[in-house]
Structure 1
Amino acid sequence: MSNNTMVTEYISQKALMYEPTEEEIKFHHKNQHKSLRYIFCGKELDEFEKEKIQELKDHVNNLKKKEKDSQGGETYESTFKDTIFEDDNYVLRFLQGNEFNFEKCYYDMLKHLEWRDENLPVKYEDVEDMLKKGYIYVHGRDKHMHPIIIINCKNFISASAKDVLKVAYYWMEFIISKLFIEGKIEQWRVIIDLSHCGVLNIPIGTLKDISKCLSCNYRSRLSKMLVLSAPLFVTGMWHMLKSIIPVVTQQKITISSSEIDKRLLEQVDLDQLESNLKEAHLENGMNVYLSDASREGLKS
């Protein structure tokens, strides 16, 4: 993640000057010392977080001792040397995402490193044609300066899930390197647009793959997710699934049968929305398509 500290073609003065509130940095559970962090980079971790990171390291070192004869005496430090997990604040993303279960977190970290080796970086020339098809793109920012990712399902009904995922990885890495500001803006908002998708041709499998990718490899990056133009059965499925989804995750997701949701307009300025979303709210002939970030991203 780049430390963007000046106005660029991707970072406006408004974004650069934005200061997150304490609640945007970290949510504190009532009557508990445990917290839920949203902003990680360059932040001093609290005692609970430091304690859990050390407990994870101790857990891994104990596992390594048991494997010593076959693995040559590896340690936590040697396992994650020269990787993204040398940064304890990044490790915390995975600890928090695994609800501080050390065993799950450790294996999740190993899988993440494998995933990075297999999928990153995504080169522009490898996705150039797919980017132009508009499967997924970036358009504007919300009122908290989170970049907005648009997942336009009608454009990949018949596309390969592998291709769509490659585009997703490209944009997510683009956002992290070009649109985020360390210590201030580290999350994105996702809008899933199901308009013009019939009940029988919603690309459920690809959406599941994208969701898994977001939750497993981009820990603590999702601020909010809004599903627009959802058929009745999608809304029904969501109400059934809510009972088994953590409350914190539930609060991030909104399912709407409308083309525009008034809650979105409370969180995103109108000039940051695509023309089709604006026109669902106002018939004003405004004509804004891909944001500058998305257009320029096609050349990056």
Structure 2
Amino acid sequence: MAEELKPVNEDDFKQLKERMSLIASADPAQYHNDFSLKRYLRAFKTVDAAFQAVIKTNKWRSEYKVADLQNDSELIAKYSDKARVLRHRDLVGRPIVYIPAKNHSSSDRNIDELTKFIVYCLEDASKKCFEEVVDNLCIVFDLNNFTLSCMDYQVLKNLIWLLSRHYPERLGVCLIINAPTFFSGCWAVIKGWLDENTAGKVTFVNSEMDLCKYLIPDILPTDM
């Protein structure tokens, strides 16, 4: 089941929309649709904080050249085994970002390049959202054949930062599948970086039957 979205205060939403309309009328690149503005309000609580966060995101998107990442075929090919936005969706219609942890290693990547690839994946998945129905994502971390050498804490820190600052409320659920027992030590570290809301969206899936509550297992890649 999709989590019921927390309603936003309509007066706050109206104020934020009016403030953004003034900005967007002068610079159309600043435009955010209603769904996006409501996500920022849910995440940042107040009109002022949400407004400042939207402006910072717009500045970041421009400086980071987010729109150009989809054309960086070299980057996409180089890191294509690190994550994939699947063609299929989960049971409530969320786009799925699949991450095979076994293909990660802090000694086998350029952190700036890999972070750009993560942004590319988040962008690709976000564009696939049917926002009128569900406007968030399902991220699946597959820990099959995971070893401690695959544990790239910096990449996870970057992902958490991106989701909290520039893709607020885009995460609907994070599924961790095939986790070995020793991953509990890693999780104790990672959980400390998450706020209570985000940590509550992380689910350890311990069986195929449990996985079927979220998605059809056959849609997960076997070629990564």
Question: What TM-score results when the alignment is normalised by the length of structure 2?
Answer: 0.78
Q: 2:219 & 2:145 partners in 1: Cα distance?
A: 22
SS in 2 for 1:184: coil
SS in 1 for 2:198: helix
Number of the residue aligned with 1:273: 220
Number of the residue aligned with 1:236: 188
Query: CA offset at residue 110 of structure 1?
Result: 1.6
- What CA RMSD, in Å, does the superposition of the two structures yield over aligned residues? 3.0
Structure 1 letter corresponding to 2:114: V
Larger radius of gyration: 1
Work out the number of aligned pairs and report it: 213
Aligned partner of 1:109 among 54, 74, 88? 54
Do residues 95 (structure 1) and 41 (structure 2) align?
A: yes
Structure 1 residues 78-106: Cα deviation after superposition (integer angstroms, max 9, x where no partner):
434313545344222111111x2233222
Per mean C-alpha deviation after superposition, the further-off stretch among 86-95 and 116-125 is: 86-95
Do residues 159 (structure 1) and 109 (structure 2) align?
A: yes
Q: 1:24 & 1:94 partners in 2: Cα distance?
A: 19
Number of the residue aligned with 1:43: none
Q: From the superposition, tell whether residues 151 and 84 of structure 1 become closer, same or farther in structure 2 (CA, over 3 Å).
A: farther
Number of the residue aligned with 2:10: 50
Q: Which runs of 5+ in 2 are unaligned?
A: none
Structure 1 letter corresponding to 2:73: E
Q: Contact conserved, 2:102 with 2:145, CA < 8 A, in 1?
A: yes
Q: 2:3 & 2:141 partners in 1: Cα distance?
A: 25
Per mean C-alpha deviation after superposition, the further-off stretch among 221-230 and 113-122 is: 221-230
Query: CA offset at residue 245 of structure 1?
Result: 3.1
Q: 1:86 & 1:224 partners in 2: Cα distance?
A: 23
Q: From the superposition, tell whether residues 25 and 233 of structure 1 become closer, same or farther in structure 2 (CA, over 3 Å).
A: closer
Q: Which runs of 5+ in 1 are unaligned?
A: 1-22, 28-35, 38-47, 61-75, 276-288, 291-300
SS in 1 for 2:213: helix
